[in-house]
Chain A
Amino acid sequence: MATLGLDTERGLFLGIDFGTTNSVVSIYNFAEGEAETIPIDGSNIFPTAIQFETDPEDENKLSRIFGVQAKEAAIIYPMSTVLSIKRHLGTDAKLTVSVEDKEYQFTPQQIAGEILGYLKQKADEYAQEELGITSEFSGCVITVPANSTDKQKKMTKEAAQLAGFDPENIYLRLEPAASAISYAVNEDANKKVLVYDFGGGTFDACVLEVKTEEAGEPTISIVSTYGDNNLGGNDMDKIIMDIVYEEFKKLTGEEIDLFDEDADDGVSKRQKKVALVRLQQAAIQAKERLSQTKSTKITLAPLIQEPRIVNINMEITRDDFLSHRRQNPLGDSQQVFEKFRDKTVTDLIDETLECVNHCLEAGKLKETDIDEIFLVGGSSSILYVSEKIAERFGKEPFKSKISPALSISQGAAYYCNMIMMPTVRGPVVQERTIHPIGLEIAGRRFMEVVAAGLDIPKEGLTIDASEPLVTNYDDVTSMAIVVYESTKPKTSDDKNQNVNQDGMKRLAGTSLRGIPSGPRGKETVQVVFHVGQDNMLKVTARSLSTDGVVTELSVDELYQ
């Protein structure tokens, strides 16, 4: 039985890859000196799904079913099942779940919290029974896409808190960085690695620098990241769904709209939901089969039964899959659909390569600077991805020796090790500033305070704004302090960047109130940025006059 030499004050931490389609949890096993994935319900891969049903012992209560059972129940019980909750994190809309004609409403973080809570419970049981640890997981490292919004991050943290993790011990880390750590952990050569992470719902590119010293552990630092939070394997599933839906439209003379629940076309709301879940699951299976075979069959006989039977029985080739242009919104909002209208799978892969371009530019790197390319995420197993990468970089990409599906979670477990046992040997992640951060100044201009690529020392990085802010009008008593992050690399035409240009992300804002009244330009305000290793940014603004006032604002999860 393994014995974990834990820092009991910090408690036990769980590494969680909370994915759109599947989730994986891992722990750092000190006895073995490696990350270990915890099987949940007999499998390392846990479908991120929940189904509600009436509690058999109390009809006024709901009981919950998770994982595979919930995912597969979606075909029979689409109204009481929630899939892909991660796509709802960051939105305020409540989700409605119907169980036996009763409706219940949940916030996205409540649903995500239920699922994370189940993962925690199963991991606690595993730790007790298999590893002989008596304490529970009190903390966690949850991975998030590289370009998550503040709201997504905040709601992910809230969900983890609802799941029972200690609010002080919930850490978020970048998905591509986590997967790269699982890859680089045994590296013994200096190199720059591009991580190409094409997951179920998101795409991230990330360049890491691995530095090794003699007899030391590798130091890994993130040079640059760039991604698209709305581009993933699910969008490729939709291309197969689109092929099938075109056939469905032909068979029904376009008289039935499966995506409009309220359309008066003789098909019940429930029948439409069931048909869509079946269509989606058939598309996912077909995509997986097409990664090995040249063609596959999709049989949905019948797809709907009333008002008349419509059978789908068609063959889809790999070429159809790669070259079909999407025609239908398939339930996506108009804004999302516009992004994918007329796009093929090859177009989507080309878009990921655009993100790779931005990532390289942000790190001021050329293709030849990259020593190795590392493919992560289920969608990167499409052959066309490897071919394009090889063509672009002139070298074949690497894949993980652990399953690409597990590498993010195991990387999160290495982060857990760094938090739990900061003094033990193991890979070290040298935190660095990734994008420039700065202030909005007069004329909506951007003043850079912290440059990209600076090492963040243990005590944090403190930088004064190069010039103080001054009052622009007579007798003003307050001044807006608004902090921006410039996520897109600066071009040569960008000498004067504006905060409203593409790639600028507003991080936080506050007002410095109580500035002594006086003529324009008399009062000056000094702004200091402090970036911690925990990715927290603290901004302090202080009026420099004798009656000076101070205000502070903070950003919890910088660069995530």
Chain B
Amino acid sequence: MNWKNYKNLNAADKANEAYYIIGLDIGNHSTGIAFYNISDGDAEVIDLSGGYGKPSIPTVMQYIAENKEWVFGEYALLNSGANNGVIITAMVERLGRFDHIDVDGRSISVANILGMFIKEILSNVKNINPNGEIVGIVAAIPAYLSQQAQEELTRAFKIAGYEKELIALVPDRECALASHYRQPPMDKELALVVDFGGRELCGGLYEVAAVDGRIVATSMSSVFNNIVSVAAINQEVSKLFESYLDSETDRLNEHVLGFTHQHKDMLFQKGIRQKPIKLYFNFLYPPVQQTIEHKQVLELVFPYLRGFNGFINDVLDKSLSAKPIRPRDVGLIMCVGGGFEMLWARDAVAEFFPAAKFYKNPKMVVTEGAALVAARRLGIAELPEILLEDRHQLTGDIGITSGDAFLPLVERNSFWWQQHKPKLVLVNEAVSGEVSFTLEKRNTSGEATSIGQVKIDGLPKRPKGATRLEIGVSFLSNKEFNLNVKDIGFGELFPRVDYEQVVGMEL
């Protein structure tokens, strides 16, 4: 049944325990799934890990050419080293680039492989209830996912056979807030969401207020750091493990990948503070034993801890608030993402915010929130609508229009405080000192609105097609930006001159 038909059912028909309303958080590193339990009126996580006792599974696929079969999740990692399979990771961050991967001589798109992964994940509903039928899905998406990436993700759902059940792709922050705010807050409050996930550390401050029965969460700051991520820390751990192995074992890297996945958690739990832990690299012969002490773990995480602290300072400092925000001004702190299973990350937040709330399953907060958003949208859960007003993220592309062509200088979904890479522009006419062009903002439907006419002068004289300019955008706030124009010359005949002009613009 597609979600629109389900939405139109009467309340009694909707309350059928065989209908599953799903929240999905497909992370770059791991994936979680939850359903809305109609009788409880709450979201419940579906355990995907089989016998491993972890509620999420790695977002990993493996193709084993010898058997011509695909393996997904935990097994794809644990199989590594035991066969000659191709392991595909980090699929989400590859979306939007129309990437293809060579699998046993065939070129397969990332969207296709992710589609197979989604199909396997959703089949778990049949496992818990053979009569189960999925009637609606909300997929939480990270802020970094571009429009093209979202289109590819939607295609992955189509490949999985769930196009009609997919209600919407919803920002993960909205899902996180939905898991907490079951009712509008009595008073306006400042909420901090810190998401420490596989690909990056991101988060922001929101001013949360009740408006006409809805919750309006206005973004006051929005920061990310892609140096500090669970994937980066896993890589450090793998490097540490590899440093202990003086071995030329076939497929050593893949053995270490699986070993890291299984043993990493031991390094970051409390026990190591009391007693060093012993690791046994039993995939080698003879097996190797190694003791790891707490101070080694501290050394390993130190640069990340510094990055983490800088991130928290940025969240407070880079805000739109007229006056400085102090830690005690923040009423709610939500720590979500698998990174918060590491004690050092919890300690780092607790140092800033002693009253921080740590979830039992930080990985699953967004997943549960996605299921609640899905239930609300289908009219089965009476939960407040959450409106995210993100004044930090650009809602459209900013670029130059020339005839029918549009050259984006800044892509939508990027944040004003990010550094935007300058673009090269070839002026397709003879230049005699002055060039003018229109700067436009283009929305998701392709409609353009003018930001203003830009006129730059003082350029060296050059024939048609021999003027190349580097045009960059640097924002001063979420509403003001500078356009930086530089001459970069054209080969040896027209060398670069020391020309630079800055034009102030407003959005």
Interface residues of A (CB under 8 A from B): 24, 36-37, 39, 41-45, 65, 68-69, 72-73, 75-76, 125, 129, 186, 188, 278, 281, 285, 288-289, 291-297, 299-302, 378, 381, 395-406
Find out whether the CB atom of A295 lies under 8 angstroms from the CB atom of B66: yes
Encode B260-302 as 1/0 by CB contact (under 8 A) with A: 0001011011110000011110100101010000000000000
Find out whether the CB atom of B47 lies under 8 angstroms from the CB atom of A281: no
Find out whether the CB atom of B79 lies under 8 angstroms from the CB atom of A72: no
B37 an interface residue at 8 Å Cβ cutoff?
yes
In the complex, residue of chain A having the shortest beta-carbon distance to the beta carbon of B73: A292
The smallest C-beta distance from A198 to any residue of chain B, in angstroms, reads 12
Find out whether the CB atom of B40 lies under 8 angstroms from the CB atom of A44: no
The smallest C-beta distance from A62 to any residue of chain B, in angstroms, reads 15
Report Cα–Cα, A75/B287, bound state, in Å. Answer: 8
Find out whether the CB atom of B289 lies under 8 angstroms from the CB atom of A76: yes
Find out whether the CB atom of A398 lies under 8 angstroms from the CB atom of B285: no
Find out whether the CB atom of A45 lies under 8 angstroms from the CB atom of B46: no
B64 an interface residue at 8 Å Cβ cutoff?
yes
Contacts of B55 in A (CB 8 A): 403
Find out whether the CB atom of A399 lies under 8 angstroms from the CB atom of B127: yes
Contacts of B443 in A (CB 8 A): none
Find out whether the CB atom of B128 lies under 8 angstroms from the CB atom of A301: no
Contact of A398 among B53, B128, B265, B280 (CB under 8 A): B128
Report Cα–Cα, A29/B128, bound state, in Å. Answer: 24
Contact of B265 among A43, A378, A395 (CB under 8 A): A43
Contacts of A400 in B (CB 8 A): 47, 128
Known: A186-B40, A402-B47. 10 other contacts (CB 8 A): A69-B280, A72-B279, A76-B280, A125-B270, A296-B79, A297-B82, A297-B83, A400-B47, A400-B128, A401-B45
Report Cα–Cα, A121/B245, bound state, in Å. Answer: 34
Report Cα–Cα, A285/B80, bound state, in Å. Answer: 12
Report Cα–Cα, A456/B50, bound state, in Å. Answer: 36
B183 an interface residue at 8 Å Cβ cutoff?
no
Find out whether the CB atom of B37 lies under 8 angstroms from the CB atom of A403: no
Contacts of A299 in B (CB 8 A): 82
Find out whether the CB atom of B50 lies under 8 angstroms from the CB atom of A404: yes
The smallest C-beta distance from B62 to any residue of chain A, in angstroms, reads 9
The smallest C-beta distance from B45 to any residue of chain A, in angstroms, reads 8
Find out whether the CB atom of A289 lies under 8 angstroms from the CB atom of B78: yes
Contact of A289 among B51, B75, B128, B266 (CB under 8 A): B75
B466 an interface residue at 8 Å Cβ cutoff?
no
Contacts of B46 in A (CB 8 A): 401
A39, A278, A378, most chain B CB atoms within 10 A? A39
Report Cα–Cα, A401/B268, bound state, in Å. Answer: 28
Interface size class of B (residues with CB under 8 A): 35 or more
Contacts of B40 in A (CB 8 A): 186
| Count of A-B contacts judged by CB separation below 8 Å | 123
The smallest C-beta distance from B255 to any residue of chain A, in angstroms, reads 11
A42-B269 contact, Cβ under 8 Å, with A278-B282, A403-B51, A406-B53: yes
Would you list 8 pairs from A and B whose C-beta atoms are within 8 A, ordered by A residue? A72-B282, A278-B282, A291-B50, A396-B130, A400-B47, A401-B46, A401-B128, A405-B51
Find out whether the CB atom of A292 lies under 8 angstroms from the CB atom of B75: yes
Contacts of A125 in B (CB 8 A): 270
Report Cα–Cα, A299/B250, bound state, in Å. Answer: 11
Q: Is the interface of B mostly helix, strand, loop or mixed?
A: mixed
Contacts of B82 in A (CB 8 A): 285, 289, 296-297, 299
B180 an interface residue at 8 Å Cβ cutoff?
no
Find out whether the CB atom of A289 lies under 8 angstroms from the CB atom of B79: yes
Contact of B130 among A73, A75, A381, A395 (CB under 8 A): A395
B243 an interface residue at 8 Å Cβ cutoff?
no
The smallest C-beta distance from B267 to any residue of chain A, in angstroms, reads 8
User: Which 3 pairs of residues, A with B, have the shortest CB-CB distance?
Assistant: A396-B130, A44-B53, A42-B265
B44 an interface residue at 8 Å Cβ cutoff?
yes
Find out whether the CB atom of B47 lies under 8 angstroms from the CB atom of A406: yes
Interface residues of B (CB under 8 A from A): 35, 37, 39-40, 44-47, 49-55, 64, 66-67, 69, 71, 75, 78-79, 82-83, 126-131, 263, 265-266, 268-271, 277-280, 282, 285, 287, 289, 341, 360
Contact of B52 among A186, A397, A403 (CB under 8 A): A403
Find out whether the CB atom of A405 lies under 8 angstroms from the CB atom of B53: yes
Report Cα–Cα, A75/B448, bound state, in Å. Answer: 67
Report Cα–Cα, A90/B287, bound state, in Å. Answer: 34
Contacts of A295 in B (CB 8 A): 66-67
Report Cα–Cα, A400/B125, bound state, in Å. Answer: 10
Contacts of A281 in B (CB 8 A): 282
Contacts of B270 in A (CB 8 A): 125, 129
Contacts of A399 in B (CB 8 A): 127-128
Contacts of B79 in A (CB 8 A): 289, 292-293, 296
Report Cα–Cα, A328/B181, bound state, in Å. Answer: 61
The smallest C-beta distance from A443 to any residue of chain B, in angstroms, reads 50
Contacts of B131 in A (CB 8 A): 396
Contacts of A297 in B (CB 8 A): 82-83
Report Cα–Cα, A399/B124, bound state, in Å. Answer: 9
The smallest C-beta distance from B103 to any residue of chain A, in angstroms, reads 16
Find out whether the CB atom of A293 lies under 8 angstroms from the CB atom of B64: yes
Contact of B83 among A75, A296, A398, A406 (CB under 8 A): A296
In the complex, residue of chain B having the shortest beta-carbon distance to the beta carbon of A71: B280
In the complex, residue of chain B having the shortest beta-carbon distance to the beta carbon of A29: B360
Find out whether the CB atom of B280 lies under 8 angstroms from the CB atom of A404: no
Find out whether the CB atom of A45 lies under 8 angstroms from the CB atom of B53: yes
Report Cα–Cα, A166/B289, bound state, in Å. Answer: 38
Report Cα–Cα, A129/B350, bound state, in Å. Answer: 14
Find out whether the CB atom of B280 lies under 8 angstroms from the CB atom of A73: yes
Report Cα–Cα, A72/B259, bound state, in Å. Answer: 12
The smallest C-beta distance from A219 to any residue of chain B, in angstroms, reads 17
In the complex, residue of chain B having the shortest beta-carbon distance to the beta carbon of A311: B285
A401-B47 contact, Cβ under 8 Å, with A75-B280, A289-B79, A301-B285: yes
Report Cα–Cα, A295/B69, bound state, in Å. Answer: 10
B131, B266, B268, most chain A CB atoms within 10 A? B266
Report Cα–Cα, A289/B263, bound state, in Å. Answer: 18
The smallest C-beta distance from A46 to any residue of chain B, in angstroms, reads 9
In the complex, residue of chain A having the shortest beta-carbon distance to the beta carbon of B264: A42
Find out whether the CB atom of A76 lies under 8 angstroms from the CB atom of B287: yes
Report Cα–Cα, A406/B282, bound state, in Å. Answer: 27
Find out whether the CB atom of A293 lies under 8 angstroms from the CB atom of B47: no
In the complex, residue of chain B having the shortest beta-carbon distance to the beta carbon of A281: B282
Report Cα–Cα, A180/B303, bound state, in Å. Answer: 48
The smallest C-beta distance from B251 to any residue of chain A, in angstroms, reads 10
In the complex, residue of chain A having the shortest beta-carbon distance to the beta carbon of B126: A396
Report Cα–Cα, A281/B82, bound state, in Å. Answer: 14
Find out whether the CB atom of B289 lies under 8 angstroms from the CB atom of A403: no
Report Cα–Cα, A378/B52, bound state, in Å. Answer: 10
